[in-house]
Amino acid sequence: MPKIAHIELPEFPLLLAPMEDVSDPPFRAVCKDAGADLMYTEFISSEGLIRSALKSRKKLDIFEYERPIGIQLFGSEISSMEEATRVATEAAPDLIDINYGCPVKNVACKGAGAGILRDIDKMVRMTKAVVDATHLPVTVKTRLGWDESTKNIVEVAERLQDIGIKALTIHGRTRQQMYKGSADWTLIGEVKNNPRMHIPIFGNGDIDTPQKAVTYKNRYGVDGVMIGRASIGNPWIFREIKHFIATGSLLDPPTIEERIAACKKHFYYSLKWKGDKLGMLEMRRHYSNYLKNLPDSKVYRSQLVLLEDIAAIENILDEASNYYSQIPDLQSKVLHQMKVQQQVGHSEDYETNFIDG
Ligand SMILES: Cc1cc2nc3c(=O)[nH]c(=O)nc-3n(C[C@H](O)[C@H](O)[C@H](O)COP(=O)(O)O)c2cc1C
């Protein structure tokens, strides 16, 4: 069983990827229900945190039922990262994760996120400072390298392990690739199979079907996989992968009732965590994911994204649930369509919609 310092994880842990504007507490609640074994907050700016910016502080909110959970930090200044680590440690997560993977211009080009892949010595110094600033285990999430000519992850992994990180997640792309093309797991496998490495190595990039998770598990020997885009609107991917690993067969996708129940949970948690007004507004971008593949769902979606009353939204969701339960054979037709997606995956659906992190 892989362990991150003293944190015990199941045999082949499935990690929910940190995702800015996505992996907030409401989304994490539905992913936890569906079987995510280890979760992270969205990335938090070290500068924002030490200046007590409201947005950054709010992202420190974590809840008992979420454990084990990591708080993810990013920044370009070592002293700020050090101080932010102390602030994050006070929030009592199970671990602190450092983001060395964010490719977006206004992060990477300022030397934070994947930007640090251009200065490995600084990356090592920053990591050491973070490790020394907390009693919690520190983990790192990064990419293969800055660009095609600097894919130095094998050396980077050794150096980070030497200065005390307790696990490493590798996204199989370079910074230059952003989210384009497909993730290359070959080097992830090389890191995992390097006899010098003894910390858990988690693979990340394009896992969007149970079959792919198992193929990559067997082919690259990683200790677990991290899943990002494929969990958006489909948190059930976690339980589907677990079922496939345990039985070799595909679990039926969620029923329509389950999808609407998860949507409601997401909605209630949003209201609770963000307040009614903001919770309602921010939930608007999630409805289409939960109603995906359902005939006539536009009728419901178009109302859900306009309504400003909690009871009215609940009514529409109930109405949708009733409507769909009365269509003969709908469940099996939708199940069939979703099964096809289970086979082919759907990470690309999100490629153009989400470019952060
Ligand atoms: C909307 C979005 C936001 C992201 N935000 C973060 C983030 O805050 N921190 C981070 O380390 N990676 C972030 N990422 C990258 C993901 O964690 C993950 O590495 C990437 O999506 C590849 O995995 P996937 O193919 O399973 O989606 C983000 C990705 C997306 C799509």
Which DSSP string do the residues of 285-301 spell out, in sequence order? TTHHHHTTT-TTHHHHH
Map residue 106 onto helix, strand or coil: helix
57: left (phi over 0), alpha (psi -120 to 50) or beta: alpha
Q: Please tell me what DSSP assigns to residue 229.
A: G
Q: What is the mean pLDDT of residues 103-120?
A: 95
Give the Cα separation of 50 and 257 in Å (integer).
44
Q: Is the pLDDT of residue 273 over 90?
A: yes
Kindly give the distance from the C-alpha atom of residue 22 to the centroid of ligand 1, in angstroms, as a whole number. Answer: 9
Task: Identify whether the C-beta of residue 29 lies closer than 8 Å to the C-beta of residue 274.
Answer: no
Rg (CA), the chain: 20
What pLDDT does residue 357 have? 40
User: Dihedral angle at the C-alpha atoms of 93, 96, 98, 103, nearest 10 degrees?
Assistant: -10
* Shortest-distance Cα residue to atom 2 of ligand 1: 19
Residue 22 CA: which ligand 1 atom is closest? 1
User: pTM for the complete prediction?
Assistant: 0.94
Q: Which of 215, 206, 201, 204 is CA-nearest to residue 244?
A: 215
* Cβ burial, residue 184 (10 Å; 0-12/13-18/19+): middle
Give the Cα separation of 316 and 207 in Å (integer).
33
Looking at every residue in the chain, the average pLDDT score rounds to 93
Lookup: tokens for 5 = 């310092």
Kindly give the distance from the C-alpha atom of residue 354 to the centroid of ligand 1, in angstroms, as a whole number. Answer: 9
**Is there an atom of ligand 1 within 6 Å of 342 CB?**
no
What pLDDT does residue 334 have? 74
Q: Alpha-carbon torsion 173, 177, 183, 186, what sign?
A: negative
* Shortest-distance Cα residue to atom 3 of ligand 1: 19
Give the Cα separation of 271 and 258 in Å (integer).
20
**Is there an atom of ligand 1 within 6 Å of 18 CB?**
yes
**Is there an atom of ligand 1 within 6 Å of 41 CB?**
no
User: Dihedral angle at the C-alpha atoms of 84, 100, 154, 195, nearest 10 degrees?
Assistant: 40
Catalytic residue among 31, 102, 109, 263: 102
Q: How confident is the model at residue 226 (pLDDT cuts 50, 70, 90)?
A: very high
* 263 is known as an active-site residue: no
**Is there an atom of ligand 1 within 6 Å of 256 CB?**
no
Cα distance from N-terminal residue to C-terminal residue, the chain: 29
What pLDDT does residue 293 have? 82
pLDDT tens for 154-183 read 999 999 999 999 999 999 999 999 999 999
- Quickly count: other Cβ atoms within 10 Å of residue 121's Cβ: 9
Minimum mean pLDDT among 21-35, 202-216, 328-342: which range? 328-342
What pLDDT does residue 339 have? 65
* Shortest-distance Cα residue to atom 13 of ligand 1: 357
Minimum mean pLDDT among 4-13, 203-212, 317-326: which range? 317-326
Percent of the chain exceeding pLDDT 70 equals 94
Q: Is the pLDDT of residue 356 over 60?
A: no
Q: Is the pLDDT of residue 349 over 60?
A: no
What pLDDT does residue 345 have? 64
Kindly give the distance from the C-alpha atom of residue 164 to the centroid of ligand 1, in angstroms, as a whole number. Answer: 24
pLDDT tens for 36-55 read 999 999 999 999 999 999 99
What pLDDT does residue 344 have? 64
Q: Please tell me what DSSP assigns to residue 95.
A: E
**Is there an atom of ligand 1 within 6 Å of 160 CB?**
no
Minimum mean pLDDT among 2-6, 82-86, 265-269, 293-297: which range? 293-297
**Is there an atom of ligand 1 within 6 Å of 206 CB?**
yes
Beta strands in 81-216 (DSSP E): 95-100, 138-143, 167-171, 201-204
Kindly give the distance from the C-alpha atom of residue 320 to the centroid of ligand 1, in angstroms, as a whole number. Answer: 31
**Is there an atom of ligand 1 within 6 Å of 104 CB?**
no
